[in-house]
Amino acid sequence: MIEAPTSTVLPGLWENHAHPNCDNSIYYGDRMGRLWMAYGITTLRDMGDNAYRAVEEKESFANGAAIGPRLFATGEAIDGERTYYPMMIPTTSEAQLQREFERLHALDFDFMKLYVRLPYNWMVEGNKYAHEVMGVQTASHYLLPAVALGNDGMSHLSATARTGWAYSRSLTGFSYSDVRQLEAESGMWTTSTLVSQDIIANWPGVVGDPRYNIAPPWETNRLIQSLSAAVKTPQTANEERVKREESTVQDVIERKGIFIGGTDSPLELPSISLDLNLRSQVRYGLAPWQALETVTSTAAEAAGVEKDLGTLDRAKLADLILVDGDPLTDIAALIKVQCVMKNGHIRSVEEIAGSFAHLDIGNNICPAK
């Protein structure tokens, strides 16, 4: 007797830290939006990008001119007089700072990124302008002093800091109890942009997933090379680093703090890195449902759009995915996306891939339109 395949309906997934219009992204062309959708990601939170490309892509995804997730977009991060990444704006005067705020407002962005060299008094001005004029959230890389300056979130658990304040973890990778308590009690959200490619050897099967054929060939090679390197070289130190970060995620969630899942893509491999992030969360302590909440209901709540997105309810937008298997018992099943619905429009993964990839994904359980 052949058993019928099981399937699970889930809310569309969120990628909570992406740079879909940075310089690393332009070489994907139309592939990137499709790649995210093929892995069940229906919403992106932009954490800093080329402003005019971001506007164009947001409109293209929204009106159907291009296939891709809903994009909560922003422009370049506002920084101090020196910058590192090209998707940042250096500010050297109060007058210029105000012009940059006004430009972001005129382009109707959904978020403001305030970067690590921005003077603290200017960061306060950014928070005030974003909240009172634009009606949007802000984030930087800091827990301290951002929690005292009015930021809404911290875009990495541990990332670049250049003004003397410590990371939210020690150099050995630990986050101590005061940090965990402050993350939980501050009301700020934190994105776990855990880099899991170093421990990809725990899940070698992801390299053969046909959905990744949508990616450009050089990105497929990057995925293959990541596995090759991880297999050849002991990953004990990386495993410990991931384990320590996940212990912070688990502890803060248990304290009712707000953690959301993201990857910093395309600095990390789009889509597949989010899958590895969730697998790592489960491997090191979270239940599958807890990991899934970081990219569904909690993500929507952190963005302030829980009335419309994040869960499967009649009153909400029709964003959902159909998966072959049950990620609530086996998080690895989440990769087996069969079809994706965004704003009530359902597409099979084959349709999403279009001419970029011939996909053989096994059980075709996507219902007819």
CATH numbers and ranges of domains, the chain = 7-356 (3.20.20.140)
Q: Give me the pLDDT at residue 259, please.
A: 95
Q: Which amino acid is at 332?
A: A
Euclidean distance between CA atoms 150 and 64, whole angstroms:
36
Query: In sequence order, what are the residues at sequence separation of 6 or more whose Cβ sits closer than 8 angstroms to the Cβ of residue 170?
Result: 176
Please report the beta strands in 286-354, taking only residues with DSSP state E, as ranges in sequence order: 320-324, 337-342, 345-348
Specify the 3-state DSSP secondary structure of 299.
helix
Q: Give me the pLDDT at residue 369, please.
A: 57
Q: Give me the pLDDT at residue 4, please.
A: 45
Q: Give me the pLDDT at residue 281, please.
A: 92
Q: Give me the pLDDT at residue 270, please.
A: 92
pTM of structure = 0.94
Residue 115 CB: number of other CB atoms within 10 A?
Answer: 26
| Cβ-contact 14, 296 below 8 angstroms | yes
Tell me whether residue 284 is exposed, middle or buried, using C-beta atoms within 10 angstroms of its C-beta: 0 to 12, 13 to 18, 19 or more. Answer: middle
Sign of CA dihedral 356, 362, 365, 369: positive
| Cβ-contact 262, 113 below 8 angstroms | no
Q: Give the residue among 358, 59, 357 at the shortest CA–CA distance from 216.
A: 357
Per-residue pLDDT of the chain (369 residues; tens, 9 = 90+): 344 458 899 999 999 999 999 887 778 889 999 999 999 999 999 999 999 999 999 999 999 999 999 999 999 999 999 888 889 999 999 999 999 999 999 999 999 999 989 999 999 999 999 999 999 999 998 888 888 999 999 998 877 777 665 566 655 667 888 889 999 999 999 998 876 677 888 899 999 899 999 999 999 999 999 999 888 888 888 888 888 888 899 999 999 999 999 999 998 899 999 999 999 999 998 999 999 999 999 999 999 999 999 999 999 999 999 999 999 999 999 999 999 999 999 999 999 999 888 887 766 677 765
Q: Give the residue among 70, 82, 62 at the shortest CA–CA distance from 20.
A: 70
Query: In sequence order, what are the residues at sequence separation of 6 or more whose Cβ sits closer than 8 angstroms to the Cβ of residue 293?
Result: none
Strand pairing report for 88-90 and 77-79: parallel
Tell me whether residue 92 is exposed, middle or buried, using C-beta atoms within 10 angstroms of its C-beta: 0 to 12, 13 to 18, 19 or more. Answer: exposed
Phi, psi of 322 (to 5 degrees): -115, 125
Bridge partners of 78, per DSSP, are 89, 114
Alpha helices in the chain (DSSP H): 31-38, 51-63, 94-106, 120-129, 146-149, 177-185, 217-232, 236-254, 272-283, 288-293, 297-303, 349-353
Q: Give the residue among 166, 232, 211 at the shortest CA–CA distance from 360.
A: 211
For 94, the token pair is 């109060």
